[in-house]
Amino acid sequence: MTPREPSENSESPDDSPGDSPDNPWSDLDRPPLNAAALRRALLRPGALWTSVEVVTRTGSTNTDLAARAARGTAGRGAVLVAEAQTAGRGRLERAWTAPPRSGLFFSVLLAPDVPAGCWGWLPLLAGVATTAALARTAGVDTALKWPNDILVRDGDTERKIGGILAERVTTPDGTAAVVLGLGINVSLRADELPVPTAGSLALAGARGATGTDRDPLLRAVLRSLEEWYGRWCEADGDPEASRLRQTYTAGCATLGRRVRALLPGGTEAVGEAVAVDGAGRLVLAGSEGVQRPVDAGDIVHLRPAPGGAPGGPPDGSPGE
């Protein structure tokens, strides 16, 4: 996957009235994040994260952080979190919507010192880190849909609870960087789901009150991301040496299923998803046994094909 260039900055100030949904105490079941506590927990000498900012509302944390990086007002390791997004985006500019404080909506700025050809692994790395953190902290059964969806399993059903978006940006000194954005549905109720294939940690039976407490969830995801990113960078971006590819394939629900990849121009590739190769591409085996790698940047939709496993991964939902 090749990270995309950012669009214009859409950040907006919090000027909402006190009785608005943007009021942090307008929904007592969804309290605001504790920014000071997050900083104390995450910012330390030698850590990956260098700043943590929580804003009440914005258009898109990815758009905002990419624009700051391009202006030179955000450095590597910056974390930008929004309690609500009005223009959240997924792949191919698909919309991501959710009520205020119902999930985790954040972006981080990374500038990995690894070969540029390895950068396509960043969204997959984020998926591995996030599912591990959610399984450990919320006690839910997680899985991944290639290339950028986070799923929870409920029996034979899989529902999308999160998505990942990577965008490339160039800083004023010419350094290339990546803004990595994540959106995770935490406390959405059934009547709030944007599409039937979506889900949330709460609906998946997250463990007790802590399973839907966004503060420990966010800390866990960022710490897991820091751990996996550090391991990957130490291995110079090698997905084998860092065990990233092995871990991703072990948790990828797409593998072993017959899928239909819709490609630009209306073409398609149909086959069984048999592997994720060293470049992070999905390898499809066709009816004649010919294997074809498909790059995430070439995918318009990835859907179950006729003859695919029942209860397969959900198709296009917000943030895909």
Looking at residue 298, its amino acid is: D
35-248 CATH: 3.30.930.10
Per-residue pLDDT of the chain (320 residues; tens, 9 = 90+): 444 444 333 444 444 444 455 666 557 789 999 999 999 999 999 999 999 999 999 999 999 999 999 999 999 999 999 999 987 555 445 555 689 999 999 999 999 999 999 999 999 999 999 999 999 999 999 999 999 999 999 878 899 999 999 999 999 999 999 999 999 999 999 999 988 889 999 999 998 777 899 999 999 999 999 999 999 999 999 999 999 999 999 999 999 999 999 988 888 999 999 999 999 999 999 887 789 999 998 888 898 887 655 444 444 333 33
| Domain extent listing, the chain | 35-248, 254-304
Beta strands in the chain (DSSP E): 51-55, 78-82, 88-89, 95-96, 103-110, 142-145, 149-154, 157-170, 176-185, 258-262, 268-276, 282-285, 291-294, 301-304
The two structure tokens encoding residue 218: 């966010």
Alpha carbons 174 and 219: distance in angstroms, whole number: 31
**pLDDT confidence of residue 273:** 97
Q: How far is CA 311 from CA 98, 125, 158, 270, 304, in A?
A: 25, 25, 7, 18, 9
Query: Same CATH fold, 254-304 and 35-248?
Result: no
**pLDDT confidence of residue 11:** 47
Q: Are 89 and 165 spatial neighbours (Cβ–Cβ below 8 Å)? A: yes
**pLDDT confidence of residue 297:** 85
Nearest to 207 by CA among 137, 150, 156: 137
**pLDDT confidence of residue 29:** 85
254-304 CATH: 2.30.30.100
Q: Are 217 and 118 spatial neighbours (Cβ–Cβ below 8 Å)? A: no
DSSP-derived secondary structure letter, 85: B
